[in-house]
Amino acid sequence: MQLKSIIPIVFSLLISSSLAAQVKDHAVYTEGKLSTFQKRKLRQELSRQDGLYMGVQAGLRRHLTSNGNNIYLPISGEMDGIIQAIYGHRLGKVSLETGLGFSWHNSEILHQLGALERYILTKANLNSLFLPLGVRYDIPVNSKNNIRIGAHTSGNLILHTTNRPSKNGPFPYYGTSQTEGIAVDFQINEPHFKSFYKLGIHSELHLFKSSLVSLQASHVFSAPTSLRKITYSWTDETQSGSFSNSIRKEGWLVEVAYKLPLTILNLED
């Protein structure tokens, strides 16, 4: 049986078991005539139980695609963003997650043209839509079970990329007075299968009545290493040369996530 057919079956079984538990808790909540304090306590308890959840997470990735300091922050390297919708299921200390995300990667790399005192500013951009498949493991650090710490990993399949250069435009470099009189050509090599992976640690705590907030730090690396390689060839009246830009997802990523357990949605105030 193929992986694509197994994943929907697994999530269908998880949803069925979660709905059965929600029906039981809903009866207690609505028929038991609980006080406001008791209802709040029940919502908090339900949010800590096994079951489905949805949410959104976003963050910034620091990488060293180009040399020099960041123009916005007092750090070396560059910062690019990532955002994704989350759909997951907690099973004790383990959580399985999927969803849909978008990642930015925008860089500018300066290359000297041979022995000439002239330079060309190239673009190393690769924004992507991706499908995450992740596993999280965490444990409570207090008796209330409202703070958890753990580790996580995910494989992220890149479904679509943008900013792909072409001969008819957009060009992967800036035409300036530095490139006047110089003929520039380029070739693009981009694999059909592209992915990147995250491995890191996280903490999770309760917010308000039943929401969850996570803070996580991950190391990112892509597979294959080069997601897009652009090779440039240039020539003028006296010289010629070539160079290349290899674009990859790498670096350190810090994210904040907001999660809403679906076990509480059938409860009425």
User: For residues 16 and 185, which has the higher predicted lDDT (pLDDT)?
Assistant: 185
| Mean per-residue pLDDT, 148-155 | 96
Query: Which domains does the chain carry?
Result: 3-264 (2.40.160.20)
- What is the pLDDT at residue 22? 47
Strand 183-189 and strand 228-235: the pairing is antiparallel
125 token code pair? 């951009």
**How far apart are alpha carbons 201 and 76 in whole angstroms?**
23
260 token code pair? 């809403």
pTM value is 0.79
At residue 83, does pLDDT exceed 80? yes
pLDDT tier for residue 70 given thresholds of 50, 70 and 90: low
Grouping H, G, I as helix, E, B as strand and the rest as coil, residue 112 is strand
Beta bridge partners, 203, equal 149, 215
- Do the Cβ atoms of 262 and 51 come closer than 8 Å? yes
pLDDT tier for residue 1 given thresholds of 50, 70 and 90: low
**How far apart are alpha carbons 249 and 104 in whole angstroms?**
10
